[in-house]
A and B are shown apart, each in its own frame.
Chain A
Amino acid sequence: MLGVSILLFLVILSLFVPLYFPQKDVVKAWNDPLHWIKYPRLAAPEWYEIFVGKKLPRNIILEDDRFNQISLRMVSNFKYVKRMATFNYTYDDFPSDFVIFINSHYSKSPPYVAVEFIRPDGDKVKLFSGSLNSPNETLYVSTDMDILSKISDYVAKACGRPPREPNFIYLFARKEGSATLERPRVLKSDSSSPPRPYKILISTLFYNKNDTLKVEAVIYGKVYGLAGTDDKRRDILLGVLWGTPVSLAFGLIGAVITVMFQAMIGSLSAWYGGKVDEVVQRVTDTFMVLPFLPILITISFIYRLSIWTLLEVVVLLSLFGSITKTARSMALQIKAEQYIEAAISYGASKRRVLIFYILPRVLPYAFANMVITVPAYIFLEAALSLLGLGDPVLPTLGKLLDNAYEGGALYHGYWWWILIPAGVILLITIAFVLIYYPLDKILNPRLRER
Chain B
Amino acid sequence: MASSRYFIKTVVSRLLTLVLAVYITVIVANAGGYIDVIYKNQIRFAVQSEIARNPSFANLPPEVRDKFIEERVQAIIHSRGLDKPFIVRTLIYLRDALTLNLGRALVLRSASGSSCVRDIILERLPQTVLLFTTGTIIYAVLGIYLGLYMARSAGKLFDKAMTFFAMVTSVVPAWFFGIFFILLFSFYLRLFPSGGLLSVPPPTTPLGYFADILYHMALPLFTWVFTFFGYWAYITRNIVIQVSEDDHVMVARAKGLPEKLVLFKYILRPSLPPIVTNVALALVGSWTGAIITETVFEWPGVGRLYYEAIESLDAPVVIGVTTIYAYLLTATILILDLIYGILDPRIRAGR
Q: Are A437 and B28 in contact (CB under 8 A)?
A: no
**Chain A residues whose CB sits within 8 angstroms of the CB of B288 once the complex forms:** 291
A299 CA / B318 CA spacing, docked (Å): 13
Asked if A430 CB lies within 8 Å of chain B CBs, one says yes
**Residue of chain A at shortest CB distance from B311:** A301
Mark contacts of B216-240 with chain A using CB atoms, 8 A cut-off: 1 yes-contact digit, 0 otherwise.
0000000000000000000000100
**Chain B residues whose CB sits within 8 angstroms of the CB of A432 once the complex forms:** 171
Asked if B167 CB lies within 8 Å of chain A CBs, one says yes
**Chain A residues whose CB sits within 8 angstroms of the CB of B164 once the complex forms:** 433, 437
**Residue of chain A at shortest CB distance from B156:** A449
**Residue of chain B at shortest CB distance from A374:** B171
A425 CA / B180 CA spacing, docked (Å): 13
Given A282-B17, A291-B325, A411-B187, answer yes or no on A429-B168 (Cβ-Cβ < 8 Å).
yes
A449 CA / B238 CA spacing, docked (Å): 11
Mark contacts of A194-234 with chain B using CB atoms, 8 A cut-off: 1 yes-contact digit, 0 otherwise.
00000000000000000000000000000000000000000
Choose one: B17, B31, B155, B306; the contact of A294 (CB below 8 Å): B306
For B, the interface residue count at a CB cutoff of 8 angstroms equals 55
Q: Are B171 and A297 in contact (CB under 8 A)?
A: no
Q: Are A294 and B34 in contact (CB under 8 A)?
A: no
Residues of A424-450 contacting chain B, CB below 8 A: 425-426, 429-430, 432-433, 436-437, 440, 444, 446-447, 449-450
Q: Are B168 and A433 in contact (CB under 8 A)?
A: yes
**Chain A residues whose CB sits within 8 angstroms of the CB of B21 once the complex forms:** 286, 289-290
Q: Are B179 and A379 in contact (CB under 8 A)?
A: no
**Chain B residues whose CB sits within 8 angstroms of the CB of A372 once the complex forms:** 167, 170-171
Asked if B175 CB lies within 8 Å of chain A CBs, one says yes
User: Chain A CB within 10 Å — which of B154, B295, B310 has the most?
Assistant: B310
**Chain A residues whose CB sits within 8 angstroms of the CB of B329 once the complex forms:** 289
**Chain A residues whose CB sits within 8 angstroms of the CB of B188 once the complex forms:** 413
**Residue of chain B at shortest CB distance from A379:** B173
Given A298-B29, A401-B179, A429-B171, answer yes or no on A447-B292 (Cβ-Cβ < 8 Å).
no
A436 CA / B163 CA spacing, docked (Å): 11
Q: How far is the CB of A236 from chain B (nearest CB, A)?
A: 16
Segment at the B interface, from A56-64, A121-129, A175-183, A380-388: A380-388
User: Chain B CB within 10 Å — which of A293, A294, A379, A426 has the most?
Assistant: A294
Asked if B25 CB lies within 8 Å of chain A CBs, one says yes
Given A282-B13, A413-B188, answer yes or no on A298-B179 (Cβ-Cβ < 8 Å).
no
Q: Is the interface of A mostly helix, strand, loop or mixed?
A: helix
Choose one: A294, A429, A436; the contact of B291 (CB below 8 Å): A294
Q: Are A386 and B182 in contact (CB under 8 A)?
A: no
Q: How far is the CB of B185 from chain A (nearest CB, A)?
A: 11
Q: How far is the CB of B195 from chain A (nearest CB, A)?
A: 9
Mark contacts of A99-111 with chain B using CB atoms, 8 A cut-off: 1 yes-contact digit, 0 otherwise.
0000000000000
Asked if A9 CB lies within 8 Å of chain B CBs, one says no
User: Chain B CB within 10 Å — which of A282, A286, A386, A387 has the most?
Assistant: A286
Asked if A375 CB lies within 8 Å of chain B CBs, one says yes
Beyond A302-B31, A383-B292, A386-B296, 13 additional pairs, beta carbon < 8 A = A285-B14, A289-B18, A290-B21, A290-B25, A294-B306, A379-B176, A386-B175, A387-B291, A401-B179, A405-B179, A405-B296, A413-B188, A418-B183
Closest 8 CB pairs of A and B: A449-B155, A289-B21, A285-B17, A286-B20, A433-B167, A375-B171, A449-B154, A302-B31
Interface residues of A (CB under 8 A from B): 281-282, 285-286, 289-291, 293-295, 297-299, 301-302, 372, 375-376, 379, 382-383, 386-387, 401, 405, 410-411, 413, 415, 418-419, 422, 425-426, 429-430, 432-433, 436-437, 440, 444, 446-447, 449-450
